[in-house]
Copies of this chain bind each other. A is one copy, B any other.
Amino acid sequence: MQRDAFHLYDTTLRDGSQQEGLNLTVADKLAIARHLDGLGVGFIEGGWPGANPKDTEFFRRALTELDLENAQLTAFGATRRAGTRAADDPQVAALRDSGAGVVTLVAKSHDRHVELALRTTLEENLAMIRDTVSHLRAEGRRVFLDAEHFFDGYRANRAYALEVVRTAAEAGADVIALCDTNGGMLPDELADIVHDVVGTGARVGIHCHDDSGCAVANSLAAVRAGATHVQGCANGYGERSGNANLFTLVGNLQLKRGMDLVSGDQLARMTRIAHAVSEITNVTPSSQQPYVGLSAFAHKAGLHASAIKVDPDLYQHIDPAAVGNDMRMLVSGMAGRASVELKGRELGYDLSGEKAKQVVDRVKELEATGHTFEAADASFELLLREELTGVRQRHFEVESWRTIVERRADGVMVSEATVKLHAKGERIIATGEGNGPVNALDNALRIALGRLYPELATMELVDYKVRILEGSHGTSARTRVLIESSDGAREWGTVGVEDNVIAASWQALEEAVSYGLLNAGYEAG
């Protein structure tokens, strides 16, 4: 598809960043921009330079540090203030001089907002639009207009809303993006309105929010009604219920509506990109996210697992590989024999009927106490081996361990752990320090085993998640810890469930090390 015939427009860095709990640094924004560029989006709205100091900084650094291959950076901002001239308005100047070739102006298109929020006349609002758009065009910038609260405005005063569209288009705005700012629209009504606006001859865009759970459907309906510019945010970020999810939009438009928005290779990066972005934002991604979520193609019910053994297409709406995702078999007591057999095969073991049942029973038992093996393949494998061989992998036998965390009278924080264990016929006592009790335990364990098992030097913990299993009743809560470890070549997950976070961490740590040593070639009895 000709690049400019259809716009895939991302506003993660501007509208998305208004999500509760999301706080991006300039470095974060630059990194996210690179990822989105890798997906092949056409436009990346970088922020509001002039109004937001972090964003002014972002655009400044982008000039030298951001080398986009696919996307164009856009600067977002408001039309000039009432009663001034665009050419004299410092905020407009900031947009003009941001270095971005495209400026997206937000303007009121709902008469009540003009009167109550802007506190000016309907005529002056049109003049603000006309003046600011023409000014930026005259300065050589491409201009898009975000018509704020468009649908509510259209329903309150259709004539004025359309006047806003016409004014902006005549002044030179290439696209008028109709914004469902309150997120209250439903697809049928929205499509009718978009159709009407398309009739004015302006190029129409769509910007939806998910307050009615229909942001994606609304956007698709708008495209069907003639919109050729669609806005969204990575992972559905955004204020309140979020913006339309960019990745779901791409998946649907490309794989279901047959539009060539991005290349096949770019699409196959989407899952990785979605997760990379959530690492940067540090917002836990919803595992249920369409297309890119960890659970999006994870099959659990025993019913489905039997069918999938026959043909994966029977239960999947697309081939997960198209978006870089996987079909995962979850281990769960619910899944029954078929899932466990499949999982065992995935891990390289051949489980027959009776053994599979034994393992399922063991899994059910552990799940009842709060274990989950769904993100802890290594713990599951250790369990499998134990059930199949009758022997628990033990490269070392722990006698006792202890952690001390102290804030001393001089204000200094000290964390220390001591481990006493037996390995290869020796009794070893080691003490480690760290930033906290679990870090100290990890270090103590390494010190204790490092001489006998040099491979431990390449292993490290790369992720650590804590979950309180019974949230209520305070601090005496069953705790589950999931640990992700790596030796540089592969990664593995282990789980620990105990009454407190230290004990749970220890359990997961011990299994992580056992599994690592197993992979390094140490069989143990």
A519 contacts chain B at the CB level, 8 A cutoff: no
Interface pick from A65-73, A86-94, A121-129, A465-473: A465-473
Choice from B241, B314, B502 contacting A436 with Cβ under 8 Å: B502
Assess the A400–B406 pair: CB atoms within 8 A.
yes
A211 contact set on B, CB distance < 8 A: 290-291, 296, 317
The yes or no answer to A310 lying at the interface (CB within 8 A) is yes
The yes or no answer to A183 lying at the interface (CB within 8 A) is yes
Is there a chain B Cβ closer than 8 Å to A474's Cβ? yes
Interface string of A398-424 (1 = CB under 8 A from B): 111111111111000101000010000
Task: Assess whether A101 is interfacial by the CB under 8 Å rule.
Answer: no
Interface string of A298-334 (1 = CB under 8 A from B): 1111001011001100111110000000000010111
**Chain copies in complex:** 2
Q: A407 contacts which of B239, B251, B401, B467 (Cβ < 8 Å)? A: B401
Complex-state Cα separation, A405 to B288, whole angstroms: 37
The residue that A406 contacts in the complex, of B402, B471, B499, with Cβ under 8 A, is: B402
A310 to B113, CA, bound (A): 10
Chain B residues near A17: list those with CB within 8 A.
Answer: 334
How far, in Å, is A52 (CB) from chain B's closest CB?
8
A263 within 8 Å of B by Cβ? Answer: no
Q: Is the CB of B405 within 8 A of A503?
A: yes
Given contacts A240-B288, A317-B184, A462-B474, contact A437 B405 (CB under 8 A): yes
Contact across chains for B407 and A400 when beta carbons are under 8 A apart: yes
Known: A117-B310, A211-B296, A212-B216. 9 other contacts (CB 8 A): A20-B287, A20-B294, A213-B217, A214-B217, A239-B301, A400-B407, A401-B407, A402-B404, A434-B500
Given contact pairs A279-B471, A403-B404, A502 touches B240 in the complex (Cβ within 8 A): no
Cα A422 to Cα B183 in complex, Å, equals 53
Residue A182 interfacial (CB < 8 Å): yes
Whether B501 contacts A436 by the Cβ 8 Å rule is: yes
Assembled-state Cα–Cα distance A116/B313 (Å): 12
Please tell me which one of the listed residues B282, B400, B403, B502 contacts residue A408 in the complex, with CB atoms under 8 A apart.
Answer: B400
User: A400: which B residues are within 8 A, CB to CB?
Assistant: 406-409
The verdict on A36 contacting chain B, using a C-beta distance below 8 Å, is no
Q: Which of B182, B464, B506 contacts A474 (CB 8 A)?
A: B464
| Chain A: interface residue total (CB-CB under 8 A) | 125
| A181 touches B (CB below 8 Å) | yes
How far, in whole Å, are A367 and B24 apart by their CA atoms in the complex? Answer: 11
Distance from A301 Cβ to chain B, minimum over Cβ atoms (Å): 5
**B256, A186: Cβ atoms under 8 Å?**
yes
| Binding stretch for chain B, among A340-348, A447-455, A475-483 | A475-483
A117 touches B221 (CB 8 A): no
A187-217 Cβ-contact flags toward B at 8 Å (1 or 0): 1100000000000000000000011111011
Decide yes or no: A212 and B279 within 8 Å by CB, A113-B314, A463-B474, A464-B475 being known contacts: no
List A358-416 residues whose CB lies under 8 Å from chain B. Answer: 367-368, 372, 374, 398-409, 413, 415
Complex CA gap A116/B310 in Å reads 7
Q: How far is the CA of A330 from the CA of B240 in the complex (A)?
A: 11
Sample 17 A-B pairs with CB under 8 A, ordered by A number: A18-B334, A21-B374, A117-B306, A186-B252, A188-B221, A217-B218, A282-B470, A398-B407, A402-B406, A403-B437, A409-B420, A434-B500, A436-B500, A437-B500, A463-B471, A463-B472, A463-B474
Minimum CB–CB distance from A364 to chain B (whole Å) comes to 9
The one of B220, B301, B314, B467 in contact with A186, judged by C-beta atoms closer than 8 angstroms, is B220
Complex Cα gap A301–B279 (Å): 23
A18 touching B463 in the complex, CB below 8 Å, given contacts A214-B216, A413-B499:
no
Q: Are B372 and A299 in contact (CB under 8 A)?
A: no
Tell me which residues across on chain B come within 8 A of A311, comparing CB atoms.
116
Does residue A112 face the partner (Cβ distance < 8 Å to B)? yes
CB distance from A155 to the nearest CB of B (A): 12
The residue from B181, B217, B291, B500 contacting A439, defined by CB atoms under 8 A apart: B500
A493 located at the interface, meaning its Cβ lies under 8 Å from any Cβ of chain B in the complex: no
Residues of B within 8 A of A245 (CB): 213
A460 within 8 A of B: yes
Cα of A479 to Cα of B434 in the assembled complex, Å? 14
A438 within 8 A of B: yes
A476 B402 Cβ-Cβ under 8 A: no
